[in-house]
């Protein structure tokens, strides 16, 4: 049996038999990425902070998924007109998950919003809106373009990510308007877009299996992108090997 991979969900309004209702949802692309790599997906809905350790006792790896923006108050900033999808309940839950996973050195794959909430949870901050601050307008591609590797990122040749994907120049997709600004203590950037936006992070602690990417390997994996398959495989393998003891 493969390792249990906890995957964070996104609140969305859906049409149900009782009318329009809020639901905790997940794109099938994340599930597919996990199962393709041999993991067993477990969807995570928000729980109270004191239940988070109990929840993480029952999974082997944590996948922090994409979605709406992180509340800027959490990193000492203010809302801007470009922000969308802020959900305090999701922020609170994922901050607690990230901090507990950091404490345990639990295997983590953080994607897009996931890399942002992880950075904020550990004390970092975000660029509130890339186009208005940096001027780049090519990061937020949507529709069919999410399945196309349309942006180049440069990867530090000395890092684990470069060894994992077997390249230092990688074509990825891009579906975000925010990014990491001040990187939290204990983390460091390892990949950048042409405009200098941070595209991937790793942990300073070699004993913490962390893969954090700003792009979306779950979409690219649907079109048989080999580096994306390698990212999910490495994450699921690290979860299988972790054998984390109960704290």
Instruction: List the catalytic residue out of 94, 100, 202, 218.
Output: 218
3-class state of residue 25 by DSSP: strand
Whether residue 159 lies in the annotated active site: no
Alpha-carbon span 68 to 235, nearest angstrom: 23
Instruction: List the catalytic residue out of 139, 176, 177, 216.
Output: 216
Alpha-carbon span 146 to 60, nearest angstrom: 28
Instruction: List the catalytic residue out of 94, 100, 112, 176.
Output: 112
Q: H or E segment at 211?
A: strand 210-213
Question: Which residues fall within 8 angstroms of residue 54, CB to CB, at 6 or more apart?
Answer: none
Alpha-carbon span 173 to 55, nearest angstrom: 32
What backbone torsions phi and psi does residue 119 show, to the nearest 5 degrees?
-60, -45
- Strands 198-203 and 40-44: what pairing? unpaired
Whether residue 112 lies in the annotated active site: yes
- List C-alpha distances in Å: 239 to 12, 27, 190, 194, 204: 29, 21, 22, 32, 19
CA 209 to chain centre: 14
Mind giving me the DSSP string for 103-165?
Answer: HHT--EEEETHHHHHHHHHTT--EES-HHHHT---SSB--GGGGGS--EEEEE-TTSHHHHHH
Whether residue 218 lies in the annotated active site: yes
Query: Which residues are catalytically annotated?
Result: 112, 216, 218
């Amino acid at each position: 049996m493969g390792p249990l991979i906890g995957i964070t969900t996104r609140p969305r309004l859906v049409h149900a038999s009782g009318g329009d209702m809020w639901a905790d949802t997940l794109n099938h692309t994340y599930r597919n990425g996990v199962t393709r790599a041999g993991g067993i997906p477990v969807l995570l809905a928000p729980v109270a902070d004191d239940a988070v350790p109990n929840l993480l006792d029952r999974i082997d790896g944590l996948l922090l998924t994409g979605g709406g923006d992180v509340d800027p108050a959490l990193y000492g900033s203010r809302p801007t007109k470009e922000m969308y999808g802020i959900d305090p309940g999701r922020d609170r839950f994922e901050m607690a998950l990230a901090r507990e996973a950091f404490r345990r050195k639990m295997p983590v794959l953080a994607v897009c919003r996931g890399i942002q909430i992880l950075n904020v949870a550990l004390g970092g901050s975000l660029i509130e809106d890339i186009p208005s601050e940096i001027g780049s307008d090519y990061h937020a591609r949507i529709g069919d373009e999410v399945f196309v590797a349309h942006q180049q990122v440069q990867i530090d040749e000395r890092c684990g990510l470069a060894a994992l994907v077997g390249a230092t120049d990688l074509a990825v997709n891009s579906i975000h308007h925010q990014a990491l600004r001040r990187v939290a203590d204990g983390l460091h950037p390892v990949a950048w877009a042409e405009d200098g936006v941070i595209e991937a992070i790793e942990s300073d602690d070699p004993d913490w299996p962390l893969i954090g990417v700003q792009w979306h390997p779950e979409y690219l994996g649907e079109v048989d992108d080999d580096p994306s398959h390698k990212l999910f495989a490495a994450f699921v393998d690290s979860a299988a090997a972790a054998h984390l003891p109960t704290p």
